[in-house]
Structure formats: C-alpha cells, structure tokens
Structure 1
Amino acid sequence: MPVTPQNVGRKNPRSSTHGGTPREYIDESEHGKGIEYRNDLGKYEERILGLNRELERSKAVEAEQSRIIQEKEKMIQDLTTRLSRAASQQLTQGNPNIADLSDVNRPTKLGERFGQVYDDQWSEAYEALKARGKRDDEIVVELAKIVQDIYSFMQNSVKDLLDKLASKTSEVIRNPFQTHSGEIPVIKGLDVTVSDLVKTHGHHTLEAVKKKSLDTHCAQENDPRIRGYVSILSELIWLMVIQDPPMVLKFIEKGEKMDPNIFKPYTKSGSIVVVCVWPALYLHKNGPLVGRGFALPQ
C-alpha cells in the first residue's frame, strides 16, 4: 500500500498477521490442508469399499463352503445308513434267529397277532356258525379247514410270485432292449434277491391277496364275522409265508398222540387227537416253536 497523508499510521490489511504469521500464508496453508484431507478421505472411502467387496466375496466363499460341507455330511449320512441297512440285511437275511427290531412284521410280532386271532376272530366266527345250529365238532373242523386252505393258498401264491419275479427279472437283465424274448433261464443266485424283495415289499400286495382269498374262501359268505376271520388270517399267513425262511404252521392229524408242549387240549383233557382246532406256529421248518396250537382229544 503506497504511503499517503491519508493512510499514514494505518495497517495494510493484506499484511495483517496472526500470531506473527502473515494472513496470506495462513490461508494458503489451510487450503492445502483441505485438499490433503479430501484426498485422504477419498483414499479411506476407496479402502472401505475395497474391504466391503472382500467381505462379500469372503461371505460368498464361506456360504459355498458351508453348502459343500452340508452336501458332504448328507452323503456321509446316506452312505452310513445304507451300510447299516446292508449290514443288517446281511446279518438277518435267511437267519430268523436274529430279528430286525425295526420290522413291525417280524416273526415274533406275527406270532403274537396269530395267537390273538384265536382269542378274538376265531371266537366270533365260532358264534356265527353256532347260530346256524351247527354242532361244536362241526364248527371246529370247519374253522380249522379255513386255516388250512388259506395256508395252502398262500404257500402256492408266494411260490408263483417268486417264480414270476425271478423269471421276469432274469429276462429284463439278459435282454433289456426286448419286450419279449421267450423262456429265459433264471440267473443263478437271483432267488435270494427276489425272496428278500418279496419279504421287504410283500406288504404292498396285502389288499390284492386278501381280496383274492376272500373271493376264493368266502364267495357265498356274507356274515362279517366269518369274512373278518378269513381276512385277518389271509393277511397274517401271507406275511408269515413271505418271511425268509418262511414260518410254518403245523396241523396235527387225527389219531396222533398230542404233545402238550406243542398242542394244548381243547375243552377236555386227553392225549389222542380227534381234530386239530388251531395249528402250532414255528419260526421256520425244524425251527423253534413260536406259539402252541389246540387240539380236540378223544
């Protein structure tokens, strides 16, 4: 600022100081710091964005790893279940002395239900026949014959089923691209597989089996007590004969001496059999006794 009479003694505002430092230097310094601050802020923001992207990628990788781990764990669980099932099947297959406790139709359970039929449905069917004026000996013979007929029917039916399955399966395996190729030899060892298949899935045929049995043994019968007797016997005996090996019903013959450990006397004591009232049940052929029968002695 030039020196004139008017401004003698005045301070140049541009040369004002702050703490001994000219104002123009302070302004320039603060401006530089602002730029530096904004630059640092931008760097921080970029860093934060970069870290967020890394975090999202890490989360995606973690989610994928978690999915893979879950899939592996499920595969391990499935394989363990299959191994356990296979081991159990290998252990119990053809070995009735080792029971599969998960099977609701295992032999011991079937034996219990079969014994209950004699207490319940047999007694109801007896009363139905008695109401028709039949004698006691006629009734027990007729009811016992129903059991025998159903047992024979189911034995033949399961044999036919096993033969058909073994034949058809062999045909499909040997000639998978032909609809019919005539008679094909059954593949060796397939009978074991087919037998296990029927045992495992034979309950799916129950309705068809019971219907066929009712049509065969109750064609002219309308009394629900008789039909109920035939129906429950058809169900249980079918489940018995599809066991591996099949369970066995023993009918004592007229004139035979009764073993009290196998047959209990019906209505009176004695040792010589007149008629088999209810068969004894065995776990399998030549196997242990599951349930005693009843016989009418002389």
Structure 2
Amino acid sequence: MSTNMKQEDLSEFERFKLTTSGDLEAFKGHLRELGNHLRIQIRMFKQRFEHENIAFDRIDEGSKMINKVEEKLGNYLSMIKKNERIDERYTRIRHVKKKYEDKLSEATTAWLQKYNPHVVEITSYNRAKHIAESLVGVFENQWQEMYLSSRNKLIRKYTDREIVEKLRDILKYCYDNCREFYWKQGIALLQLLTMSSQYNIDTCQPVIRLRIKELLKRGAAYTLPYIQKVIRQDVVSLLEMNIVVRAHQRTQRPPIRSFLDMCTEITWLMQFQDPPIALDFTDENSSMKFKPYVTSGPEFVYVVWPAVLLHENGLLVSKGVAEFFSPGYEPRSAGSEYNFT
C-alpha cells in the first residue's frame, strides 16, 4: 500500500482486512462483480417497470371502457324505467277512458230507448263486435286445447270430423241453454212486475220492457256462475252420446271446464244485446258466412264453428269456420291453428 495514504483511508481498508496488494486486487474484483450485478438488476428492473407500465395502461383503458359501458347501461335502464312509467300511465288513462266511454254509451242508450225501446244496445263492453272477437278467441285457444286433448284421449277410434262436430255441439248446447235461461228470467220478472201471466216481453209496455232488460243486464254477472255450474252438471247427462264429454268424464277439470265456462259466458252475454246476438250454425250462404277449416272448395260439408249475427236473421258480424270439399285438393292437418284474419 502507498505510504502517503491518509490515516482514515487506512483505517477504512483495515475494516475490510485489506492488508496486502493482493487483498486490494481481490476486493476490486469483488467490487467489479458487484457493479456488474447491480447494473444487470437495474436493467431488469427497468424492463419490468416498463412491462408493468404497459399492463397498467391496458388496465386503465379497460377500466375506462367498462365505465363507458356502465354509463350506457345506466342510460338504457333509465329509458326502460321511463318507458315503464309511460306504459303504466297509458294503461291507467286507457282504463279511465274506457270507463267514461261505457258511461257515455249507457247514457246514450238510455236516452235513445226512452223514445224507442227497440234500439239496439250500444254499451261498449256488450257490443256485438266485442263478443264476436271473444268467441274467436275461444276457438283459437280453448277449442284448440279441447281438440288436442280429445284427439289424444280418443286415439284413432273416432275421426277428426266426429271430434270437431262434437265440440261444435257443446257450444250449441251452451248457446241454446243460455237463450232458454234468459227467456225464463225475463218471463219471471215480467209476471212479477205486471202481477199477471204474461209471457211475451216484446208485447208488453215499452217502459216495463226497458226496465226488465236493465234488470237482466245488471244481474248478468251475478247469474253467470250459477249458469256455468248448471251447464257443467247437466252436460254429462244430457250429452251422454257426446264422445268428447265421455272422454273427459269429469267436467270440473281442464281443459273441458275452461271450454264449457267460456262458451257459457260468451253465449250468456249475447242475450243482453237488444235484440240478442245470434249464432248461425246453418249452411245457407255458406261461402259468405264461413272461412274454410281444412279444405277450401265450392261444396259445403259441415260447420266447425258458427258465424255471429247482429241478431236473428241479422247482419253478419263475424265469419265462422266450415269444412268445404274440392276434388284433388291436398288438405292440411285437422286441428291446426286457425287464423281468422
């Protein structure tokens, strides 16, 4: 070692036990290795830091995209909620409008019947068009369920025509019974009001006739459950030859109960139109009154579903469904969904 080195430098080297030049050279080598190691570590750290920076930038971009999507979703949800509030308000307004339309129709009917008791009922919920649409709904829903259920229960013992005609007969049975019930109710009220044995409402005084019609109409909702119960009980015994009724046995279970109840409800409401709405099961002018069921053609075969008339022998309100015949025509499968439009 150099003799002119300061004392503090010597003491520093003595701390590392560097007493010879060989020790100093070895120490320099160690320092060189340490420096190389540190430079490698710094370079690796810089590279790692750059990679982490890139990853952080990507994460940041992804976070910003997620924020944008969440913002769009928030706007979309607010629009949906706004539309729901608008729909609810529209529904409330529509119900209020219908309520006042019904009141206006009732008031108009009462005023017109004051001068002419034979004016046709114009109350909106009892209009012929509304009832005809309801009957179409029964054919498209409850009738379809009954047909498929009957076809599955009866397997192939009976033809499609037999099943379809028996379903039609059930509707006709409900229609005929509702007409009879309505007539009996009217006669009972007429005899009670006049204290006589009169049995023709149309020939009584116009004021009494109008009051009887009003009483019958107001009590329609209360008498309907009783009428439905009676028809469900009697249909088994009175239509014991009906293969569809026999196939379902118990009329308290779906789908026959829903079919019977809907047929009864609609044909019962028909009676409170003045004059009553009529169902046409005849084949007169069949091409004008009926749409084809499975086969279209010039020859009429049988009625599937009746047409709706404004009243007996009146104008056509809604077409029915009937089977026609055309030589060489390939029919579609029976019981398929039917479109009235």
Q: Could you say which TM-score interval applies, normalised by the shorter chain?
A: 0.5 to 0.7
1:263 equivalent in alignment to 2:290? yes
The answer (yes or no) to whether the contact 1:100–1:106 under 8 Å persists in 2 is: yes
SS where residue 243 of structure 1 aligns? coil
Question: How do 1:18-97 and structure 2 match up within 5 A?
Answer: 87-91=108-112, 94-96=118-120
What amino acid sits opposite 1:95 in the alignment? V
Alignment partner of 2:136 out of 90, 100, 115: 115
SS where residue 224 of structure 1 aligns? coil
The aligned residue for residue 215 of structure 1 is: 233
For 1:257 and 1:159, locate their aligned partners in 2 and report how far apart those are by CA, in whole Å.
Answer: 29
SS where residue 276 of structure 2 aligns? coil
What amino acid sits opposite 2:205 in the alignment? K
Report how far residue 87 of structure 1 moved. Answer: 4.7
Name whichever of 194-203 and 268-277 sits farther off. Answer: 194-203
CA gap 1:191/1:129 in 2 versus in 1, 3 angstroms: same
For 1:185 and 1:153, locate their aligned partners in 2 and report how far apart those are by CA, in whole Å.
Answer: 22
Report how far residue 85 of structure 1 moved. Answer: 5.5
Alignment partner of 1:152 out of 170, 176, 199: 176
1:101-150, CA deviations, whole angstroms, 9 ceiling, x for partnerless residues?
3xx23322111111111100000000111012142111111101111111
Q: Which runs of 4+ in 1 moved over 6 A?
A: none
Choose between structure 1 and 2: higher helix proportion: 2
For 1:141 and 1:236, locate their aligned partners in 2 and report how far apart those are by CA, in whole Å.
Answer: 19
1:197 equivalent in alignment to 2:215? yes
The answer (yes or no) to whether the contact 1:217–1:230 under 8 Å persists in 2 is: no
For 1:83 and 1:295, locate their aligned partners in 2 and report how far apart those are by CA, in whole Å.
Answer: 38
1:188 equivalent in alignment to 2:216? no
For 2:280 and 2:258, locate their aligned partners in 1 and report how far apart those are by CA, in whole Å.
Answer: 23
For 2:189 and 2:162, locate their aligned partners in 1 and report how far apart those are by CA, in whole Å.
Answer: 41
What amino acid sits opposite 1:264 in the alignment? K
Report how far residue 202 of structure 1 moved. Answer: 1.7
CA gap 1:258/1:88 in 2 versus in 1, 3 angstroms: closer
Alignment partner of 1:286 out of 292, 313, 327: 313
Question: How do 1:223-242 and structure 2 match up within 5 A?
Answer: 223-242=253-272
For 1:247 and 1:225, locate their aligned partners in 2 and report how far apart those are by CA, in whole Å.
Answer: 26
The aligned residue for residue 97 of structure 2 is: none
CA gap 1:257/1:242 in 2 versus in 1, 3 angstroms: closer
1:142 equivalent in alignment to 2:160? no
CA gap 1:140/1:167 in 2 versus in 1, 3 angstroms: same
SS where residue 224 of structure 2 aligns? helix
What amino acid sits opposite 1:90 in the alignment? W
Unaligned runs of 5+ in 2: 1-102, 238-248, 326-341
CA gap 1:105/1:257 in 2 versus in 1, 3 angstroms: closer
The aligned residue for residue 302 of structure 2 is: 275
What amino acid sits opposite 1:265 in the alignment? P
The aligned residue for residue 252 of structure 1 is: 282
For 1:199 and 1:274, locate their aligned partners in 2 and report how far apart those are by CA, in whole Å.
Answer: 38
Alignment partner of 1:161 out of 182, 185, 190: 185
Report how far residue 198 of structure 1 moved. Answer: 1.1
For 2:127 and 2:109, locate their aligned partners in 1 and report how far apart those are by CA, in whole Å.
Answer: 14
Alignment partner of 2:122 out of 72, 77, 99: 99
The answer (yes or no) to whether the contact 1:128–1:226 under 8 Å persists in 2 is: no
For 1:130 and 1:112, locate their aligned partners in 2 and report how far apart those are by CA, in whole Å.
Answer: 26
The answer (yes or no) to whether the contact 2:296–2:324 under 8 Å persists in 1 is: yes
Report how far residue 84 of structure 1 moved. Answer: 9.3
Report how far residue 206 of structure 1 moved. Answer: 0.8
For 2:314 and 2:261, locate their aligned partners in 1 and report how far apart those are by CA, in whole Å.
Answer: 27
What amino acid sits opposite 2:173 in the alignment? D
Report how far residue 216 of structure 1 moved. Answer: 1.5
1:223-272, CA deviations, whole angstroms, 9 ceiling, x for partnerless residues?
4111211110000100002221100100024xx6631x310111111232
TM-score relative to the length of structure 2: 0.53
Name whichever of 134-143 and 122-131 sits farther off. Answer: 134-143
CA gap 1:200/1:106 in 2 versus in 1, 3 angstroms: farther
Of all paired residues, the percent bearing the same amino acid is 29
Report how far residue 201 of structure 1 moved. Answer: 3.0
The answer (yes or no) to whether the contact 1:144–1:278 under 8 Å persists in 2 is: yes
For 1:245 and 1:150, locate their aligned partners in 2 and report how far apart those are by CA, in whole Å.
Answer: 19
The answer (yes or no) to whether the contact 1:281–1:290 under 8 Å persists in 2 is: yes
The answer (yes or no) to whether the contact 2:289–2:307 under 8 Å persists in 1 is: yes
SS where residue 312 of structure 2 aligns? coil
What amino acid sits opposite 1:122 in the alignment? W
CA gap 1:99/1:191 in 2 versus in 1, 3 angstroms: closer
